Amino acid sequence: MFEEKLDLRLPGPVQVPKEIQRAMLRSFDHPMMDYRNPAFQDVLQETTEKSKTIFQTENLVIPLTSSGASALETAIINTVGPNDTIILCVVGYFGEYLQGITDHIGCKTVRVDAEWGKIVDPEDVRKALKENPEARAVFATHCETSTSAINNIKEIAAVVKETDAIFLVDAVSSIVGTPLYMDEWGIDIVATGGQKALMLPPGLALITLSEKAWNTVNDHQCPSFYFDLKLYKKGLESGTGTPYTPNISLVCGLLEACNMIERNGGIEAEYKRHAALRDMTRAGVRALGLELLVDDSAASPTLTAVKLNNADEFRKMMREDFHIALGGGLGKVKNQILRLGHMGYTDAADMLKMFAAMELALLKTGYEVELGAGVSAAQRHWLENPYC
Amino acid sequence: MFEEKLDLRLPGPVQVPKEIQRAMLRSFDHPMMDYRNPAFQDVLQETTEKSKTIFQTENLVIPLTSSGASALETAIINTVGPNDTIILCVVGYFGEYLQGITDHIGCKTVRVDAEWGKIVDPEDVRKALKENPEARAVFATHCETSTSAINNIKEIAAVVKETDAIFLVDAVSSIVGTPLYMDEWGIDIVATGGQKALMLPPGLALITLSEKAWNTVNDHQCPSFYFDLKLYKKGLESGTGTPYTPNISLVCGLLEACNMIERNGGIEAEYKRHAALRDMTRAGVRALGLELLVDDSAASPTLTAVKLNNADEFRKMMREDFHIALGGGLGKVKNQILRLGHMGYTDAADMLKMFAAMELALLKTGYEVELGAGVSAAQRHWLENPYC
């Protein structure tokens, strides 16, 4: 009956808040569409200015009309050429994207790997930098969306900062939900997308660069016209805007997302809210007797991976019987894990609903579960930490 | 009082029909957001299938989450490398984009230029191909948006077809509004964007390739991960979709645009409708005593450039007094021309309103104009050709 009803408890794309839907809709038949005029340029200026807070930076934030994956590529092709070396920190499926990008360029890559579900040891990065002193850049995923593990970006940044290399971070599924202090930690490039904890529908990517990174970019011939960051910097700083037609409605949506975050107490409140969502989720999962893929010390505030045999059959039941979509395993953990998304437009009651439905679906698929166990553990956590 | 009121008589972005607004809005809180599932994959399949009609092709149509400019780059970087030669047909500001792309790659370019407002002589292309037999590709703009001139794509295609080179066409502002028969004419790659006569807000590009083009693509190492067409082909043909998160709402909008065109009698009816809009516009402009930039034989059905001194002051009055936005001159014709957009969501009455307001604005800026002259010429044209 309810074909179009579905709770998106996914690791993105996420549900789009009504506020953002209205902000986007407003742009469709509006003077902003004449985008070289102040009606839009003022909005663009305000949006890029307010976006700085979500990166905890004073650097220029550049919106790209494209998906998050393109921001990773943009970070690399503006700084690393075919004859250069780059160190990649890979801890899962999306870390492999970085290898996909460098394979296309044909540059030399040095990998610092960790098992799926684990994170990179910053000392391994130090070793790789020592063994490859010519390395121009180190790239690490912040939240590895395929495993829900959070790399220790602060410590890796401290290691890279001691060298001439620049430090690039994929913050696609971490931004807003996970503490990330670009300037304080000394990250050189942060690349992200809008369709995760920023609560936008897909189609907008963001990238921001430190002065050290801009020095590299300015000395580097970017092979792409569309993703040449020098052209974006020139346009945004001179007030003429992006070099190519921007996704006007998503920029309007981003401004509303920034305003929503501001109204709710700012970015630190978002970190606290997502941490509370993570912790109540982990309490519920444990109470159901299920195993978490990632240790507490590296657990993402935006999604939680849970080991489960025949996970896809379970997901199918959750979807068909209860209209709740859960993420599944990618690549080598396909059908072996659930990924429970709790980023963006999600509150405590959404998670309680999910646990109540999961208890029924577990029972129906043959697990021994005490009804109410997951829900009440999550409830108890919320009573102590009512931040979400 | 009406700060948000503005008729967009621009060469794009255009007004978004209510039907498309609703189709996009529907996607925001919908199972389609879980885009690897059939709820979206079926829509994607239907959309790419229906999009074939707007290119008049049987080839696979690939949606890119990016602006139109990126589709031009995608066409080139998937077929031409740093050691290759490409022939560029440049007749205005957007033709120079092609040079911008090849400058980034560093390949050898041979230019076939025409004066702004004029078009390329196909015999000059033949000569360039003879003098540069190693040329891998010829790239021509179909509608040069900065001048409103339409290159003779059919004849250029016939010339290129006699060689091993492939023929690439920028159809960003021509698609849907201007006859373009990809398969019949033998074009190898057509690249376009959604924010012109396709009536979408910006953020989606489309590209389609002939078998001859795919043979080149398959033998070529694409330097970009995000724009590697081989990955898109593999994903779309296997039913897993685009390799990266697509702009789901714009794909839904594109499907509705295709359905609107279909309901109105198909793509040929759109050609006829746009030709009628062009011809009534040209009749009105002439009756106002203004000079058209482009000869009838090369005039675009999607926009019309008109010579006018101090055009930007005139545009300001149109915008402030009558809430009508007209396009202005780009690059070397800045402030010297108007560009009147009549693509997509535009009907005859919209053009009559524009002419009525233009008559007043011309009078107020010191021109001698007989009130009603432009309007009645356009009306008379419509009485004979009521196709818009």
User: pLDDT tens digit string along B251-269?
Assistant: 999 999 999 999 999 999 9
Residues of B in Cβ contact (< 8 Å) with A105: 223
Provide CB contacts within 8 A for A384, sequence distance 6+: none
Task: Give the sign of the dihedral formed by CA B253, CA B255, CA B259, CA B265.
Answer: positive
Question: A28 CA to chain B: closest CA distance, Å?
Answer: 6
Contact status, residue A204 vs residue A194, Cβ threshold 8 Å: yes
For chain A, list the strands marked E by DSSP: 7-9, 61-64, 85-90, 108-113, 137-141, 143-144, 149-150, 166-170, 189-193, 205-209, 291-292, 303-307, 324-328, 337-341
Assign 3-state DSSP to chain A and report helix, strand, coil percentages, each to 5. 45, 15, 40
- List phi, psi (to 5°) of A75: -60, -40
Report CB contact under 8 Å: B247, A34: no
3-class secondary-structure state, position B303: strand
Radius of gyration of chain A (CA): 21
Q: Return the residue of B nearest to A78 by Cα.
A: B104
CA nearest to A99 within chain B: B225
How far apart, in whole angstroms, are the C-alpha atoms of residue A179 and residue B149? 53
Confirm if A13 and A202 have CB atoms less than 8 A apart.
yes
- For B66, the closest of A34, A39, A226 (CB atoms) is A226
Contact between residue B122 and residue B152 where contact means Cβ atoms under 8 Å apart:
yes
Token output for B165: 């080179």
Per-residue exposure over A133-154, b if at least 16 CB sit within 10 Å of its own CB, e if not: eebbbbbbbbbbbbbbbbbbbe
Q: What is the pLDDT averaged over residues B360-381?
A: 97
Three-state secondary structure call for residue B169: strand
pLDDT in tens, B41-56: 999 999 999 999 999 9
What type of residue is B73?
Answer: E
Nearest to B104 among A33, A73, A223 (CB): A223
Q: Which of B24, B64, B65 to mutate to test the interface with A (most CBs of A within 10 A)?
A: B65
Query: Are the beta carbons of A226 and B70 separated by less than 8 Å?
Result: yes
Q: Which of B24, B31, B73 sits opposite A6 (nearest CB)?
A: B31
Residues contacting B99, CB < 8 A, separation 6+: B88, B90, B109, B111
pLDDT score for B181: 98
> Looking at beta carbons, which residues of chain B come within 8 Å of A29?
15-16, 21
| Residue B373 in tokens | 């002259």
Instruction: Please indicate whether, in this complex, the C-beta atoms of A28 and B201 are within 8 angstroms of each other.
Output: yes
| Chain B residues lying within 8 Å of A225, measured CB to CB | 69, 73, 97, 100-101, 103-104
With an 8 Å Cβ cutoff, are A224 and B73 in contact?
Answer: yes
Which residue of A9, A29, A43, A84 is the best one to mutate when testing the B interface, meaning the one whose CB has the most B CBs within 10 A?
A: A29
Mean pLDDT for chain B overall? 97
The first and second tokens of residue B284, run together, are: 């009105």
Residue of B nearest to A35 (CA): B13
Using a CB-CB cut-off of 8 Å, the residues of chain A touching B257 are none
For residue A106, which residues of chain B lie inside 8 Å, CB to CB? 221, 223
- Kindly report the nearest CA distance between residue B318 and chain A, in angstroms: 13
Distance from CA of B230 to the nearest CA of A (A): 12
CB contact under 8 A, B28 and A6: no
Contact B225 A97 (CB under 8 A): yes
Task: Provide the phi-psi class of B332: left if phi over 0, else alpha when psi is between -120 and 50, else beta.
Answer: alpha
Q: Which residue of B has its CA nearest to A104?
A: B223
Q: What is the length of chain B?
A: 388
Count other Cβ atoms within 10 Å, centred on residue B58.
11
CB contact under 8 A, B6 and A34: yes
Res B202 pLDDT > 90: yes
Size of interface A-B (CB pairs under 8 A): 178
Cβ count within 10 A of residue B282? 20
pLDDT for A361: 98
Contacts of B368 (CB under 8 A, 6+ apart): B289
Q: Which residues contact B152 (CB under 8 A, 6 or more apart)?
A: B119, B120, B122, B298
User: Has the ipTM of the complex gone over 0.90?
Assistant: yes
Q: What sections of B219-370 are H helices per DSSP? A: 229-238, 248-263, 267-287, 311-322, 348-364
Q: What is the dihedral of CA B367, B372, B373, B378, to 10 degrees?
A: 130
Strand partners, B8: B325
* Residue among A3, A200, A225 with most chain B CBs within 10 A, to mutate: A225
> What is the percent of chain B with per-residue pLDDT over 70, rounded to a whole number?
100
The verdict on a CB contact (< 8 Å) between A226 and B15 is: no
- What 8-state DSSP symbol labels residue B130? H
List, in sequence order, every residue forming a beta bridge with A89; answer none if it has no partner: A112, A140
Chain A: residue nearest B245 by CA?
Answer: A67
Q: Which of B94, B102, B104, B71 is nearest to B227 (CA)?
A: B71
Please give the residue of chain B at the shortest CA–CA distance from A20.
Answer: B28
**B1 pLDDT tier (thresholds 50, 70, 90):** confident
Question: Which of A12, A66, A106 lies closest to B226 in CB terms?
Answer: A66
* Nearest Cα residue to B49 out of B33, B32, B61, B35: B61
Contact state of A246 with B10 under an 8 Å Cβ cutoff: no
Angle CA B84–B85–B91, to nearest 5: 140
Residue entry with tokens 């670009």: A182
Mutation pick from A66, A145, A228, A334 vs chain B, by most beta carbons of B within 10 Å, is A66
In Å, what is the CA distance from A290 to each residue of A144, A280, A286, A324? 21, 14, 6, 19
- Which residues of A fall within a CB distance of 8 Å from B6? 30-31, 34, 39
Are A8 and A350 within 8 A, CB to CB?
no
Determine contact, residues B120/B79, Cβ cutoff 8 Å. Answer: no
Q: Is the pLDDT of residue B29 over 90?
A: no
Residue whose entry in the numeric block shows the structure tokens 């190519």: A244
* Helix (H/G/I), strand (E/B), else coil: B279: helix
DSSP A262-310: HHTT-HHHHHHHHHHHHHHHHHHHHHTTPEESS-GGGB-SSEEEEE-TT
Would you say B340 and B314 are in contact if contact means Cβ atoms under 8 Å apart?
no
Size of chain A, expressed as the number of residues it contains? 388
Please answer yes or no on whether A224 and B224 come within 8 Å at the CB atom.
Answer: yes
Task: Tally Cβ neighbours within 10 Å of residue A321.
Answer: 12
Contacts of B33 in chain A (CB under 8 A): 8, 10, 13-16, 201
Nearest-angstrom CA–CA distance, B166 and B136: 6
Tens of pLDDT, residue by residue over B134-191, are: 999 999 999 999 999 999 999 999 999 999 999 999 999 999 999 999 999 999 999 9
The answer for A202, left when phi > 0, alpha when psi is -120 to 50, beta otherwise, is beta
Q: What is the rounded end-to-end Cα distance, in angstroms, of chain B? A: 31
Residue A44 class from Cβ within 10 Å (0-12 exposed, 13-18 middle, 19+ buried)?
A: buried
In angstroms, the separation between the Cα of residue B177 and the nearest Cα of chain A is 20
Instruction: Count Cβ atoms below 10 Å from residue B110 Cβ, excluding itself.
Output: 15
> DSSP for A282-294?
HHHHHHTTPEESS
Tell me if B282 is assigned to a ligand binding site.
no
The residue of B6, B99, B225 whose CB has the most chain A CBs within 10 angstroms, and thus the best one to mutate to test that interface, is B225
Which residue type does A156 have? Answer: I
Rounded to an integer, what distance in angstroms lies between the CA atom of residue A210 and that of residue A36? 27
pLDDT in tens, chain A (388 residues): 899 999 999 999 999 999 999 999 999 989 999 999 999 999 999 999 999 999 999 999 999 999 999 999 999 999 999 999 999 999 999 999 999 999 999 999 999 999 999 999 999 999 999 999 999 999 999 999 999 999 999 999 999 999 999 999 999 999 999 999 999 999 999 999 999 999 999 999 999 999 999 999 999 999 999 999 999 999 999 999 999 999 999 999 999 999 999 999 999 999 999 999 999 999 999 999 999 999 999 999 999 999 999 999 999 999 999 999 999 999 999 999 999 999 999 999 999 999 999 999 999 999 999 999 999 999 999 999 999 9
- Chain B residues inside the 8 Å CB shell of A246: 67, 202
C-alpha–C-alpha distance, residues A330 and B213, integer Å: 33
Q: How far apart are CA A378 and CA B3, in angstroms?
A: 49
The Cα angle at residue B303 between residues B300 and B308, in degrees rounded to 5? 110
- Domains in chain B: ranges and CATH: 7-14+266-384 (3.90.1150.10), 18-263 (3.40.640.10)
Q: Calculate the CA dihedral of residues B107, B110, B115, B116 and round it to 10 degrees.
A: -20
A248-263 vs A38-55: helix crossing angle, rounded to 10: 50
